[in-house]
Amino acid sequence: MSAGYNTKCRSCGQDSFVIWDYLSLRHKGKDIPLPHPGESHHLEEKFSLTENEAALAGRLHRNDCWVCGSCKEVFYKQSLSLPDDPPPSKNSTRVLVVLWVLVLAFLFFKGIHTLWIMVVGIVSGVIFTLVVPSIEGRRIRKRLIAQYSISDITTCPKCESGQISRLPELALNDGDEIANPCPHCESRDSVITGSFMS
Ligand SMILES: [Zn+2]
Ligand SMILES: [Zn+2]
């Protein structure tokens, strides 16, 4: 879901908008906003990447809109969009298969019952589908945060006021002032003209 406010420039009358949040892809040193809805479709079509692949490479960013309570400046805070639990890597697959074969060989040579072989099968299935992806996911997310840490913005980039709020937390009304840059004349003198949700 994407939501935000429509704005109008008070200098030239140009209509524009501010959006609660959006995803962007880091590509050749630039952040490319991904159209919503259909971010993953756009990634595959234009960049041949799945959302998880882009996230695993530390290239997928979430941009949250904030507004300064003092000067009404609109700015976006960026953070990494982290991958979901990734599928087990080739290495962990190999380790589990080797362990599984060793346990089965041990049971076989001991002349132990097929019931135990089934138990080993079920336990290794659970480890492989639930435990390994969640451990690997945690490790990968930790590495991505360390590698691509983005410094958090705690004050307004324009007037340095600490009174900043996320856009969705502000109940803005039509006619309220907001310093949203105009795409036509670059004035930041604009007002809210409505809200949207899509
Ligand atoms: Zn400010
Ligand atoms: Zn304008």
What is the 35 CA–ligand 1 centroid distance (Å)? 28
Q: If you measure from the C-alpha of residue 24 to the centroid of ligand 2, how many angstroms do you get, rounded to a whole number?
A: 25
Q: For the whole model, what pTM was predicted?
A: 0.77
CA of 191 to the centre of ligand 2 (A): 11
**pLDDT at position 44 over 90:** yes
Give the DSSP H/E element, type plus range, for residue 74: strand 74-80
72 φ/ψ sector (left φ>0, alpha ψ -120 to 50, else beta): left
- pLDDT band for position 1 (50/70/90)? low
Distance 82 CA to ligand 1 centre (A): 29
Average pLDDT for 53-78: 94
**Is the separation of the CB atoms in 4 and 195 below 8 Å?**
yes
